Amino acid sequence: MRYFLYLTILFLFNSGALKSQDSLKNSFSFQIGMTRLDFFTGFRYARIYEKLIPFCTAEIGINRTIFQSRFFPKVGVGSTYFFLNKDKIKLGPQLSYAHSILKINASSSHYTNWNEVYFGTRLEVGVKMRFSLEVNGGLLNERFYNQIKEKKEGVNSLGFNGNIGISYVW
């Protein structure tokens, strides 16, 4: 997982990695979505190298952050490859990794961590202003403190996420 994060960051910020500077485009998106954990809203930044689009996201959980007053951030990285790359419509597979953390209550000093690895598909429609839809599924790993055993434990399960968003490409 750590190497996937490093490679994505390398592609995001190394402008000469795949194409010349003139062919690069950037995309900034606002998105809202749903996972097994919460409804999330946030931002997505992507570098567009023709068909390959590495991206990073920063989101917050709506229910826990706003309604329960417990800050629930989520950061992620990934890459999309648009095999259908027409002027107004783009479609392709996506691989992503996300990490979120939550302090369960104010009296505890322990946090619960979630690691998500998803594979799915992404659809974008538009030229400069794009509407996006993505659906992903995969592995969800939860790490929490077990107070009976007095140590951290983990549980793996299947997870999913679905996002809709709007982005601007320049």
Please give the Cα distance from 41 to 38 (Å, whole number).
10
Where in the sequence is the domain holding 88, given as residue range(s)?
Answer: 2-169
Minimal CA–CA distance to 83: which of 46, 126, 52, 127?
Answer: 52
Q: What is the maximal distance between C-alpha atoms in the chain?
A: 58
Give tens-digit pLDDT for 50-63: 889 999 999 999 99
Domain count, the chain: 1
Report the pLDDT value the prediction gives residue 83, as an integer from 0 to 100.
93
Q: Which amino acid makes up residue 151?
A: K
- DSSP letter for each residue of 40-66: EEEEEEEEEBTTEEEEEEEEEEHIIII
The predicted model scores a pTM of 0.83
Q: In CATH, what number is assigned to the domain containing residue 84?
A: 2.40.160.20
Q: Rounded to the nearest 5°, which phi and psi values hold at 79? A: -150, 140
Give tens-digit pLDDT for 72-119: 999 999 999 999 999 899 999 999 999 999 988 878 788 999 999 999
Minimal CA–CA distance to 31: which of 82, 96, 81?
Answer: 96
